[in-house]
């Protein structure tokens, strides 16, 4: 079927199963929009990744200059976090969502909607990028108050988020309803269910963020308000901020459930288990935000404990995923001739260059990193253990094996895959494409171990410790015991960057290769081994109702407490970076022994 920029009538096809694997051709405006939704964030990601290298070298005390190419430490940290964790992920989730809906439902996307979404996202990103690059927004990617940025940062972020939700309301929901009318007895394709769950959650969490941005951050930045309640801002931010991590994760889970089993040579072990995992994410992803605020005064411990309990519940769908994915891998490996208790591990296509099998390397490397990310996440979630690791380098290790691990690797792999399909070319420089995820994984395993150790030793996060605790000339603060592992962490970070550069070689080669076939969208969708229909996981509606109820139960009182017990702070409004910076020399002098 050809999907052009114009509206096309859908084709009647038998069932959801028979659709999977059918390619749709992509041309015109939709092809341009999809390709640019993948390429624009990738270009920004190059800057984001290089600034990550700067962070790790600066923190280890290997670079001690006040800035690099004019970019100062917190400015670089903000760019690194916002580009990698917000811009790259959001653009990818929309592009991938569009491609999945097109491919699975075989219904066209509306060109007007897609252009509106594109313009808002690109325009918003440019505004926020201007604020960050000119030093007017050094508020980090967790931009809650009382830190203040220039108003363009907030407006830019708002436009990006509005643009990202438009396709959900104006394309995907109408297309799903139309598909449902045509196929009243068919099961919604699994990838479509995962995508709809993800963007339903996305919509629900954008709302609390919008409240703090529109009613607290913007008025403060513009100097229209002179007082603010930072506790309320943080509670609203984390209402958004934890589910945000599952907004990053679910596109990866869609790939793990629907594509990885086929690449491994087998079938998805259980379709109902996969559906249950997605629906449990909807239920438990949002009412857990207080686990970021365990140490925050003003919120009572009973509610923090409730959120801690729900945080353990949100780990459940990942445990289900670990089991289902492992079983699917085993099934695939045994189809390839694998035998014995562990002997089948050798029959997986770790290094295969055949067809699309190179993509397997991205998923398996991501899964191995996610084992570390999952374990450290469980530690973070524990109310008492969190006191040991909160605000330390440990947390940085955790999120570089989750969002920086499975999420980034699967997004990079799928970007390369889709760019090749949408351009009608074969993936170029496959050995580089294959080496990239393994180098990245090895780098971040080393990085994770090193940062976990320095975190347990007490090394803080969000701090340029290279010019304080790791500066031997600083008699008061110097911590030689942090030095070794900080350098090991820098080595890990550098190795991951080498992996990324290897990926860049393949992506750029693919981007400029001569087309050999018509552009298309196709995915290696696996069939399910166990596919018994279970009514509990077929209908979204009861899950959405239960989700809303659980959010209301979990957030009504904490929000009331934040409003009534939060300390109201006087604020001067936005001030330029120069007036806020403590010169490096002054910092050194302030911390010298008399
Ligand atoms: Fe987290 C902080 C708890 C998952 C991201 N998290 C963060 C921050 C980020 C982040 C960015 O409770 C920092 C925010 C900031 O800047 O302040 N997190 C959890 C828990 C989970 C979890 C319980 N986090 C994620 C994911 C993220 C992410 C996913 C990004 C995508 N996190 C926390 C807490 C904090 C936190 C506290 C606040 C800490 C503080 O004090 O500030 C769980 O969802 C994790 C469940 C995962 C598993 C792993 C399952 C394993 C699988 C792999 C199987 C492998 C196979 C391969 C099959 C249970 C699926 C085997 C094959 C072979 C060949 C071996």
- The DSSP output letter for 406 is I
Q: For residues 312-328, give the mean pLDDT.
A: 98
**Annotated catalytic residue 242:** yes
Tell me if 136 sits within 8 A of 221, measured CB to CB.
no
Give the Cα-Cα-Cα angle 369, 359, 531 (nearest 5 degrees): 85
Prior bond of 146 cis (ω within 30°): yes
Determine the residue of 361, 374, 377, 455 to mutate for testing ligand 1's pocket, defined as the one with the most ligand atoms within 8 A of the Cβ atom: 377
Q: 2 pairs with which residues across the strands? A: 25
pLDDT confidence band for 413 (50 / 70 / 90): very high
Using the atom order of ligand 1, give the atom closest to the CA of residue 308. Answer: 12
227 SS3 class: strand
Q: For residues 12-28, give the mean pLDDT.
A: 55
pLDDT of residue 592: 57
Using the atom order of ligand 1, give the atom closest to the CA of residue 85. Answer: 11
pLDDT of residue 539: 84
Pocket of ligand 1 (CB under 6 A): 142, 245, 248-249, 291-292, 311, 314-315, 318-319, 321-322, 325-326, 345, 367-368, 370-371, 374, 377-378, 380-381, 386, 390, 395, 398-399, 402-403, 407
Least confident segment among 15-19, 71-75, 91-95, 365-369 = 15-19
Q: Which of 75, 82, 166, 79 is nearest to 121 (CA)?
A: 166
Tell me if 489 sits within 8 A of 449, measured CB to CB.
no
Report the separation in Å between the CA atom of 404 and the middle of ligand 1, taken as the mean of its atom positions.
Answer: 11
Q: Does the pLDDT at position 583 exceed 90?
A: no
594 by Cβ neighbours in 10 Å (0-12 / 13-18 / 19+) ranks as: exposed
For residue 357 the two structure tokens come to 């099998």
**Annotated catalytic residue 80:** no
**Annotated catalytic residue 423:** no
pTM over 0.75: yes
Q: For residues 30-47, give the mean pLDDT.
A: 97
Q: 266 φ, ψ to 5°?
A: -135, -145
**Annotated catalytic residue 487:** no
Give the pLDDT confidence of 348-359 residue by residue, as tens digits. Answer: 999 999 999 999
Give the pLDDT confidence of 176-220 residue by residue, as tens digits. Answer: 999 999 999 899 999 999 999 999 999 999 999 999 999 999 999
Q: For residues 125-132, give the mean pLDDT.
A: 97
Ligand 1, atom 63, lies closest to the CA of 368
Strand 569-570 to 24-26 pairing: unpaired
For residue 64 the two structure tokens come to 């001690």
Tell me if 375 sits within 8 A of 319, measured CB to CB.
no
pLDDT of residue 574: 79
Report the separation in Å between the CA atom of 80 and the middle of ligand 1, taken as the mean of its atom positions.
Answer: 19
Give the mean pLDDT of the chain.
92
Q: Does the pLDDT at position 517 exceed 70?
A: yes
Q: Does the pLDDT at position 60 exceed 50?
A: yes
Report the separation in Å between the CA atom of 454 and the middle of ligand 1, taken as the mean of its atom positions.
Answer: 19
- The DSSP output letter for 61 is T
**Annotated catalytic residue 399:** yes
pLDDT of residue 68: 87
Q: For residues 507-519, give the mean pLDDT.
A: 96
CA–CA distance, 75 with 77 (Å, rounded to integer): 5
Give the pLDDT confidence of 356-412 residue by residue, as tens digits. Answer: 999 999 999 999 999 999 999 999 999 999 999 999 999 999 999 999 999 999 999
pLDDT confidence band for 567 (50 / 70 / 90): confident
pLDDT confidence band for 591 (50 / 70 / 90): low
Determine the residue of 78, 374, 397 to mutate for testing ligand 1's pocket, defined as the one with the most ligand atoms within 8 A of the Cβ atom: 374
pLDDT of residue 205: 98
Percentage of the chain surpassing pLDDT 70?
A: 93
CA–CA distance, 15 with 234 (Å, rounded to integer): 47
pLDDT confidence band for 586 (50 / 70 / 90): low
């Amino acid at each position: 079927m050809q999907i052009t920029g114009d509206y096309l009538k859908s084709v009647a096809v038998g069932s959801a199963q028979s659709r999977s694997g059918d390619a749709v051709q992509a041309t015109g405006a939709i092809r341009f929009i999809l390709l640019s939704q993948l390429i624009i964030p990738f270009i920004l990601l190059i800057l984001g990744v290089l600034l990550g290298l700067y962070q790790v070298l600066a923190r280890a005390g290997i670079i001690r200059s006040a800035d690099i190419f004019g970019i100062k430490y917190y400015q670089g940290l903000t760019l690194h976090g916002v580009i990698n964790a917000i811009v790259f992920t959001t653009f990818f989730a929309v592009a991938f969502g569009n491609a999945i809906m097109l491919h699975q439902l075989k219904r066209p996307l509306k060109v007007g909607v897609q252009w509106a979404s594109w313009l808002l996202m690109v325009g918003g990103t440019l505004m926020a990028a201007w604020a960050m690059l000119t030093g007017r927004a050094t508020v980090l990617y967790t931009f809650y108050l009382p830190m203040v940025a220039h108003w363009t940062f907030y407006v830019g972020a708002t436009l990006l988020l509005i643009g990202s939700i438009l396709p959900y309301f104006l394309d995907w929901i109408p297309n799903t309803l139309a598909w449902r009318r045509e196929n009243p007895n068919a099961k919604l394709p699994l990838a479509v269910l995962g995508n709809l769950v993800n963007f339903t959650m996305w919509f629900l969490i954008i709302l609390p963020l919008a409240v703090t941005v529109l009613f607290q951050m913007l008025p403060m930045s513009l100097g229209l308000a002179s007082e603010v309640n930072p506790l309320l801002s943080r509670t609203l931010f984390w209402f958004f901020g934890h589910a945000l991590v599952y907004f990053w994760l679910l596109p990866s889970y869609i790939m793990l459930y629907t594509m990885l089993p086929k690449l491994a040579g087998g079938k998805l072990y259980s379709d109902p288990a996969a559906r249950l995992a997605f629906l449990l994410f909807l239920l438990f992803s949002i009412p857990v935000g207080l686990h970021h605020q365990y140490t925050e005064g003003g919120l009572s411990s009973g509610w923090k404990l409730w959120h801690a309990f729900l945080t353990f519940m949100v780990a459940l769908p990942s445990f289900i995923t670990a089991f289902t994915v492992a079983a699917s891998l085993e099934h695939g490996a045994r189809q390839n001739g694998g035998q014995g208790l562990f002997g089948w591990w050798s029959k997986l296509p770790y290094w295969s260059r055949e067809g699309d099998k190179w993509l397997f390397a991205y998923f398996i490397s991501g899964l191995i990193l996610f084992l570390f990310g999952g374990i450290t996440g469980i530690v973070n979630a524990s109310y008492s253990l969190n006191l040991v690791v909160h605000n330390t380098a440990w947390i940085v290790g955790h999120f570089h094996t989750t969002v920086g691990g499975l999420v980034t690797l699967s997004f990079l792999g799928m970007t390369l895959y889709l760019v090749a399909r949408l351009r009608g070319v074969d993936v170029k420089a496959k050995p580089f494409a294959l080496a990239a995820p393994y180098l990245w994984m090895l780098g971040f395993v080393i990085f994770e171990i090193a940062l976990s150790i320095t975190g347990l030793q007490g090394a803080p996060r969000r701090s340029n410790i290279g010019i304080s605790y790791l500066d031997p000339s600083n008699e008061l603060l110097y911590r030689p015991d942090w030095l070794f592992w900080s350098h090991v962490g820098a080595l890990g970070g550098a190795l991951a960057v080498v992996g990324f550069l290897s990926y860049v070689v393949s992506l750029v080669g693919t981007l400029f290769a001569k087309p050999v076939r018509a552009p298309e969208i196709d995915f290696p969708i696996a069939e399910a081994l166990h596919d018994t229909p279970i009514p509990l996981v077929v209908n979204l509606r009861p899950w959405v109702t239960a989700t809303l109820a659980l959010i209301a139960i979990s957030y009504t009182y904490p929000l009331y407490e934040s409003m009534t017990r939060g300390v109201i702070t006087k604020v001067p409004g936005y001030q330029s970076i120069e007036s806020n910076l403590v010169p490096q020399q002054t910092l050194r002098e302030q911390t010298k022994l008399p």
